[in-house]
Every structure is written in structure tokens, then in C-alpha cells.
């Protein structure tokens, strides 16, 4: 059985595909990728089927993350019933996910930045339409949070193996 991790942003063409690429790569490097089902979605349907934005692909590639095969999709109620850990990039995504989630899962969606409390930032700003620097800044936050997220899972797995 795998742990379902779902990254959610607005159009599913910038932040959430970058987060998926980062977390998948970190999990692979840690030898844990098979422990997870990793995906992403967006709360807005206007980009469904589109690839990640070129600036997101380039920023990710420069750091060793491949998101070139990504295609945007819309968040569904079924996603929120299926995934164990739906992670929002900002408070609007969090509100949408909690509203859409089945009643018994409304407390599951959380902000991705919760896993990098040392950064002191709650939300990851949307870089779409802005300069390349915005994608790099978003990726800095995503990396910090994904490192913290994976470290938490590593601790849980280690504790479970220890008994």
C-alpha cells in the first residue's frame, strides 16, 4: 500500500507540477519512491491538458527535476477521497480542497509550507505570468517543504520498522 500525496495549485501548470517533480525526485534518491503515489491537480480548469509552463519546466530542469511530461488536470472530489495527503500551495487552494473534500476528510488538506516551518512563510506565491525569478523563488520554497515532508515520512517509517 502506498501513501497518496497530491500537490494542488491553481492551474496545475507551475507550482504543483514543480512540487510533484521535486518530491518524486527526493523520494527516488532516498529509495522511497515506491512508498508513494504522487500526483498534482489544479483548482482552475482553464489549463486542463496543457503542459507545465515553460518557465516552470526550465526552473525545474536546472535543478535536476524533470516535469516535461506533465499535463494539467483539474482537482476532483475523488482526488480528495483517494489521496492521503492533499497539499495546497496557498490558502485559496486549501479552502477549495476543504470545501470539496468528503466530510470525513475535510481536515486532511493542509498547506505544503507546513513542512518547512523554519522558513516562516505560509503560502507559495503564484509565479505564473511573472519573471523567471518568481519561479525560482517558488521552487526554493517547494524544495524546503518537500525536504521537510520527506524527512517526516522517513522518521515515521523508521519508527514503524523499530516497532
The tens digit of pLDDT for each residue in 139-156 reads 999 999 999 999 999 877
Q: Where are the beta strands (DSSP E) in 11-84?
A: 36-42
pTM, to two decimals: 0.95
- Count CA within 13 A, CB hemisphere, residue 83: 28
The tens digit of pLDDT for each residue in 37-53 reads 999 999 999 999 999 99
pLDDT of 163 reads 60
In the chain the domains, ranked by start, together with CATH numbers, are 3-162 (3.40.50.2300)
The CA distances from residue 111 to 54, 69, 132, 146, in Å, are 25, 25, 24, 12
Strand 85-88, strand 36-42: pairing: unpaired
Q: Which residues are catalytic?
A: 9, 15, 126
Amino acid at each position: 500500500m502506498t501513501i497518496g500525496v497530491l500537490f494542488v495549485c491553481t492551474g496545475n501548470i507551475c507550482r504543483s507540477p514543480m512540487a510533484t517533480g521535486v518530491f518524486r525526485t527526493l523520494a527516488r534518491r532516498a529509495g522511497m519512491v515506491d512508498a508513494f503515489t504522487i500526483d498534482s491537480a489544479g483548482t482552475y480548469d482553464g489549463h486542463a491538458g496543457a503542459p507545465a509552463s515553460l518557465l516552470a519546466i526550465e526552473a525545474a530542469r536546472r535543478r535536476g527535476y524533470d516535469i516535461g511530461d506533465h499535463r494539467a488536470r483539474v482537482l476532483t472530489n475523488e482526488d480528495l477521497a483517494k489521496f492521503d495527503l492533499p497539499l495546497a500551495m496557498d490558502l485559496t487552494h486549501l479552502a477549495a480542497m476543504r470545501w470539496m473534500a468528503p466530510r470525513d476528510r475535510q481536515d486532511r488538506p493542509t498547506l505544503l509550507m507546513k513542512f518547512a516551518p523554519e522558513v516562516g512563510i505560509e503560502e507559495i506565491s503564484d509565479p505564473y505570468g511573472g519573471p523567471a525569478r518568481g519561479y525560482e523563488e517558488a521552487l526554493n520554497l517547494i524544495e524546503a517543504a518537500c525536504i521537510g515532508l520527506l524527512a517526516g515520512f522517513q522518521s515515521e517509517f523508521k519508527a514503524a520498522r523499530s516497532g
